[in-house]
Structure 1
Amino acid sequence: MDQPTPPVPDRVRGTINYTVDNGIPPDYYFYEPDPSVTLNPPGTDLREVEIRNGWPEVDRFDLDREGFVLKPFPAGFGPFDDDAAIRSGFYPQVEDFVKRNTGARRVVIFDHTIRRRLPADLKVQTEVQRPAVLLVHSDYTVASGPQRVRDLLPEEADELLGRRVAFYNVWKSLYEVVEELPLAMCDATSQGDGDMLRMELKYRERTGEIYVMRHAPQHRWIYFPHMTADQALLFKTYDSETDGRARFVGHSAFEDPNTPPNARKRESIEVRTMAFF
């Protein structure tokens, strides 16, 4: 794909919110915990890093090497304010997109999130409407990936988990060019297993887990400035294979220092999928 216009710099300096590795799993509560609880929040290690423009290398990236690719995506769908329409009309496009770019024989879409600038107050957020996440994370762990398959497909889980399973997220703009809060990807070849920290997600009825990341100077960050609605990032958040390919990709929105004061507010959708091979 051609680079966007107007021209963008080869690299920027941006702040990435890493997590301190203090030997205790960081946690995030989706409710107000008891005042006696000692919190260990993620994202408190802010680092200014170089984030490279990925457009000059856009055709080189590989899902099993760097862990992400940017590909064309049809921009014809419109009713992103209608959850039922998203599931009936947009999900089939995403399923086809993931199959076409991964070679998976089957793709199951299990949720989506519309991301806009919203207050940090959890009371204002919903299951579908969330703010952009300014935290380096990957959505699943070695434990929560397989557990998600068991939760959603209990009758088939044993058979499905006997073969390769990979989770991919599809991220794209709803309607406009992305002019603020772009998504940065950490090249999986630059991150080590020890950089991933298990974070506990505390719900009233259960505890889930994802990965956040500790800082390492060798991390290589990539973004694609001025993405349009007919392009989508496809990136991996879990892979059952342990043969050296990318398994988890750290990613985060960030404040682009080149964002103009009158930039259009970012509106994007992120769809989470399971791919079976």
Structure 2
Amino acid sequence: MPIPPAVPPRVLTVAGSDSGGGAGIQADLKTMLALGVHGMSVLTAVTAQNSLGVQGAWELPAEAVRAQYRSVVDDMGVSAVKTGMLSSAALVETVAALLAATDAPVVVDPVGVSKHGDALLAAEALESVRTRLLPVATVATPNLDEVAQITGVTVTDEAGMRRAADRMLGHGPRWVVIKGGHLPGDPVDLLTDGSQEHWLRAPRHDNRHTHGTGCTLASAIACGLARGQDVPTAVRAAKAYVTGAIAAGFALGAGIGPVDHGWQLRNAR
């Protein structure tokens, strides 16, 4: 008799939909497919979104988010969870409670603004992010705008990244990745748990088509954790994957195009 294939690691994304396909749930699932895990999803919001920005956003009710999560996790199990757009305090608190009762590593991408500067997190939800969501995170992955929202720290250099990391860790995540791609020079990210420091550097590619980088990085980290990698190994591998995806990003529409989630698959042909 044929041997049934082994079940791959299962990674669940809890995030909003990007109708343009470059970020959000769509980017997460593409990343998971590219990295060889089984992707599952809990939809938190629907956006009308393209290369020019976000034209509209509609949040799902908390009970719909809770039902999706329980439906998937209770039947299929989960090896790691990644969170993205949670636009209200009610959603943040609902998801945080679900995560606290789930025995799996959690990657929190504390989405606050889109690539185009559109607000994706209500101001009144920030305290829930600080006190409910970040404490259940294995890894949190804020960019510099999100660091400023959450901690009040404005980062202008690498010393500021270290201060921001300390402030973020004070809210409870086990590890934090401070993403420094918006600073001048070659991109550098800081991964730390307060005792270990890992500075992750990469060349800056001359490519403006970077829509979806934050979602993609967080999802790639979750894929590594689902495979049993430790946090530094998972983050380094995710950084390499995203760097390649940025290099292969392509023009789509009249604005900022997406990264190429399938670049490794095409290079392997």
**For this structure pair, what is the TM-score category when the shorter chain's length is used for normalisation?**
under 0.3
Greater length-normalized contact order (CA 8 Å, ≥ 6 residues apart): 1
> What is the TM-score normalised by the length of structure 1?
0.27
* TM-score of the pair, normalised by structure 2: 0.28
Give the structure with higher Rg (CA). 1
Higher helix fraction (1 or 2): 2
